[in-house]
Amino acid sequence: MNLHQTQLDRFAMSQSTFTRAKDNISDLRRAFIEMAKGINPTHFLTFNFYNYYSMEQAQKRMDEWNRQVHRRLFKTHPSVTPDEKALVMVGYPEYTKRDHLHYHCVARVNPSREDWFLRIAPERWNKIVRTGDLHIEPIRNTEVDLEAATVYMTKSSSFTEWYISSDYRGTAFAAGEHAGNTRH
């Protein structure tokens, strides 16, 4: 079994735990943290809108950002396998004191494309959401940084509008077998 299949299995298993835990908020939070760890994230992202957006409007913008970034990262790299092209992201919404929506996400970016990602991702977000910005922080020490990122992401009590972005067509998320929203 290759590393990618192991990651997919871990991701699907944490999704199963997530589904079983949805009736208990603390279990749900722990399950989300395990699910986020299951994608082996490399970055912590904050998508700011600085204006009023509904959840649906916000997620459409995030979907468009994901498509544009993915296209720019990999369109000129035909030798990169589909598994290496995956730009996987999970996150939760939060509202500012001014009632502006933003999302905290963890994401896995292909290490060979990280420099390019850091250069194009914020610029693409500004093109899609002119009032917004995108903050990107690397997750360096997986155990410490990832724990801090996922705990921070899940500080809100709302676990109903989480965001998933995945190129993994074979996962439970891509098949729509979960309690949240699937975005491709």
- pLDDT given at position 184: 34
Sequence spans of domains, the chain = 41-165
Two structure tokens written together for 135: 């903050």
DSSP bridge pairs for 162: none
pLDDT at 43: 92
Q: What is the pLDDT of residue 20?
A: 57
Q: What share of the chain is helix, strand, coil (3-state, %, to 5)?
A: 45, 15, 35
Q: Residue 102 forms beta bridges with which residues?
A: 48, 94
- Report pLDDT for 17: 55
What per-residue confidence (pLDDT) applies to 9?
A: 53
Residues of the chain whose pLDDT is less than 50? 1-4, 6-8, 13, 168-184
Q: What pTM does this model have?
A: 0.73
Give the Cα separation of 108 and 8 in Å (integer). Answer: 13
Query: What kind of fold does domain 41-165 have according to CATH?
Result: Alpha-Beta Plaits (3.30.70)
Q: What is the pLDDT of residues 75-123, one digit of tens each?
A: 766 566 655 666 888 888 888 888 899 999 989 888 888 999 999 999 9
What does the pLDDT read at residue 14?
Answer: 54
